[in-house]
Amino acid sequence: MVDLIGIASGIAGFGPALALLFYTLRQYTFPKVEKPYFDDRKIFAFFALGIVVGMLMFTFEAWGQTISSSNTLLFLVAGFAVMEELLKLIILNFPRFQRKVDTAFSGVSFGLGIASTFTFASIYSSALAITNPQPFDFVVLGLLGLQLVLLHGSTTAYIGIGVARGQVKVYFSDALLTHLAYGLLMIPGLAENMINPTADSAINILGLVGASAVVLYSYSRLYRQSLPALIWDAKRLVKTKQ
């Protein structure tokens, strides 16, 4: 049973992350464009780095939840959001990555790498904590997994875009506000169960729906607006220099 949960959790974590990575980047590499906007080796390197960072983030959050209470939960949620986004910024804002278009795509890969292991570990630990699983529990776990993939994929990509544009404060603020909004909407479920927010009360369901809307909008805006705008501006800058 544990092995089955592990396999299912791994698929839930890595499957959507890899699918979204391919779906997002396919417009910016061969054969869609003659000259790719990023190096595949760099993309895979950042995804691998994200896998490690994602597990470290989960481990730290899991430890924080063991010492938290309903009185400190708000501060923990906000603190984790700030800490995680700052860690992403520190890694992506190295001088060698600044004002380079491919840093935005490295951010996408890095974020989805984080999401893969963070989601795997979150679903696995939550599933093991359920003593009498109901169909609704698995629906919520699946929804939680998709939320985490969209959350870390979008917020890390926004930070990467900010580094690429030289507008770190603006895009970091965007990423942090998205993460905070998601975390605050998930608090009702977390308050009832520190590991697995699967309560079926109306307020928890509304929180899940609201949190899903936040991360879905965030990634949709990234895919439809932010990345295309970055490429358009980069092309315009090249033409201006010529």
pLDDT band at 189 (very low <50, low <70, confident <90, very high): low
67 pLDDT exceeds 70?
Answer: yes
Q: What CA–CA distances, in Å, run from 226 to 59, 212, 229, 231?
A: 31, 20, 5, 9
Label residues 44-74 b or e (16+ Cβ within 10 Å = b): eebbebbbebbbebbeebeebbeebeeeebe
Global confidence as pTM: 0.93
Q: Of 117-121, 133-137, 163-167, give the lowest mean pLDDT range.
A: 133-137
Pairwise CA distance, residues 64 & 157, whole Å: 26
Q: Which pLDDT does position 122 carry in this prediction? A: 94
Decide if pLDDT at 238 tops 70: no
Q: What is the pLDDT of residues 15-40, one digit of tens each?
A: 999 999 999 999 999 888 989 999 99
Would you say 34 and 97 are in contact if contact means Cβ atoms under 8 Å apart? Answer: no
Q: What is the pLDDT of residue 187?
A: 81
In this structure, the chain runs to a length of 242
**Residues 158, 161, 162, 163: is their CA dihedral positive or negative?**
positive
The pLDDT value given to residue 192: 58
Q: Rounded to 5 degrees, what are φ and ψ at 76?
A: -65, -45
Q: Mean pLDDT over residues 175-188, rounded?
A: 92
Would the pLDDT of 134 be above 90? no
Give the distance between the most distant pair of CA atoms in the chain. Answer: 66
Does 191 score more than 80 pLDDT? Answer: no
CB 161 within 8 A of CB 104: yes
pLDDT value of position 70: 65
For residue 240, the model assigns a pLDDT of 66
pLDDT per residue as tens digits for the range 150-173:
999 999 999 999 999 999 999 999
pLDDT level of residue 197 (50, 70, 90 thresholds): very low
C-alpha dihedral (159, 190, 145, 116), degrees to nearest 10: 50
Question: For the chain, what is the mean pLDDT?
Answer: 89
pLDDT at 130: 77
The stretch 82-107 carries a mean pLDDT of 97
Band of pLDDT at residue 196, cut at 50, 70 and 90: very low
Residue 129, both tokens: 């904590």
